[in-house]
């Protein structure tokens, strides 16, 4: 395939039409990867979808030979997977030296803030993949939209599941922050109040009652932070007109 602007747009057009036309996405993705490889000059390209633990659930790949396919898979397994898990890698363009220079890239398939897959490729020779970074990033974004759209059309509710996981993840992050920032001073408050209550014989009844009120309120705050940490199925309730809040009143939101 000749390297031209028309070819670039034709690849994008065919992929978009495939998604809207109900074409099998694995087949459409394979064709798009092959055309993109021809256009950019890649020896191999692959698409991976994974779950929350980075376990691959879908693989689509194209390669000029089995040897170069294995080279791509080795880069994915030994380099990119490790960096995603340990360094939260999202995208990268890399070049390796040697008698025959090797270039590789990984670009995300994402929905909102959630990355659920990647497109990777390898290229040999002097020309680098970063020369076509705009095209490759557009291709990855369109592939991601296609898989999300397939979920909507097939009733798999992929976007809803992704959004639910993103929401739960945000709640857990907030809960951790709240526990870290609130529990330390709260522990100090409770500790001092309870020490004073041990000396209640030396305190008048009014002061003792106020200290008990402080203790009860502090324990309620502690209970709220613990409920936040236990949430597994977040549910909202009406707080005021047009405003909702997270429901912490029931154990239905917590793990059994």
Structure tokens at 62: 């194209």
Dist. CA 83–CA 141, nearest whole Å: 21
Decide: 69 and 44 in contact? Cβ < 8 Å. yes
Instruction: Name the percent of the chain lying above pLDDT 70.
Output: 80
CA pair distance 82, 88, nearest whole angstrom: 9
Q: What are phi and psi of 141, to 5 degrees?
A: -65, -40
Confidence label for 123 from pLDDT (cuts 50, 70 and 90): very high
Strands (DSSP E) contained in 26-101 are 44-50, 56-63, 92-96
Report yes or no: 147 and 49 within 8 Å, Cβ to Cβ.
Answer: yes
Q: Of 158 and 14, which is predicted with more confidence?
A: 14
Q: Give CA separation, 20 vs 24, 30, 53, 108, in Å.
A: 11, 17, 30, 22
Judging by beta carbons within 10 Å of its beta carbon (0-12, 13-18, 19+), is residue 199 exposed, middle or buried?
Answer: exposed
Q: Model's pTM, two decimal places?
A: 0.58
Q: In the prediction, which pLDDT does 155 show? A: 45
What's the token pair of residue 123?
């290229």
Q: How far apart are CA 64 and CA 96, in angstroms?
A: 20
pLDDT in tens, 202-227: 888 898 899 999 999 988 888 888 87
- Give the Å distances, CA to CA, from 148 to 6, 16, 100, 163, 201: 27, 13, 38, 12, 67
165 and 172 Cβ atoms separated by less than 8 Å = no
| Strand arrangement, sheet containing 56-63 | 56-63, 44-50, 114-124, 102-111, 92-96
pLDDT score, position 24: 78
pLDDT of 242? 62
Q: pLDDT class for 12, splitting at 50, 70, 90? A: confident
CB 115 within 8 A of CB 80: no
119, β-bridge pairs: 47, 107
* 225-241: b (≥16 Cβ within 10 Å) or e: bebbeebeebeeeeeee
What three-state secondary structure class fits 254? strand
Per-residue pLDDT tens over the stretch 72-103: 999 999 999 999 988 999 999 999 988 888 99
């Amino acid at each position: 395939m000749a390297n031209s602007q028309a070819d670039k747009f034709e690849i994008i057009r065919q992929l978009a039409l495939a998604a809207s036309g109900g074409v099998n996405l694995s087949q459409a993705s394979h064709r798009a990867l092959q055309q993109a490889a021809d256009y950019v000059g890649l020896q191999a390209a692959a698409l991976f979808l994974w779950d929350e633990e980075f376990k691959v659930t879908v693989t689509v790949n194209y390669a000029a030979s089995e040897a170069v396919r294995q080279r791509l898979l080795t880069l994915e397994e030994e380099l990119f997977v490790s960096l995603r898990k340990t360094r939260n890698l999202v995208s990268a363009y890399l070049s390796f030296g040697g008698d025959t220079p090797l270039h590789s890239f990984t670009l995300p398939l994402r929905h909102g803030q959630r990355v659920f897959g990647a497109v990777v490729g390898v290229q040999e020779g002097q020309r680098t993949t970063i020369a076509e970074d705009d095209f490759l990033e557009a291709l990855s974004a369109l592939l991601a939209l296609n898989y999300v759209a397939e979920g909507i059309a097939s009733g798999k509710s992929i976007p809803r599941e992704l959004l639910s996981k993103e929401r739960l993840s945000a709640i857990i992050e907030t809960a951790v922050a709240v526990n870290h920032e609130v529990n330390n001073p709260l522990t100090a408050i409770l500790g001092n109040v309870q020490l004073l209550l041990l000396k209640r014989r030396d305190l008048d009844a009014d002061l003792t009652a106020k200290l008990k009120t402080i203790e009860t309120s502090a324990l309620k705050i502690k209970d709220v932070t613990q409920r936040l940490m236990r949430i597994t199925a977040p549910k909202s309730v009406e707080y005021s007109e047009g405003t909702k809040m997270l429901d912490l009143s029931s154990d239905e939101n917590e793990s059994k």
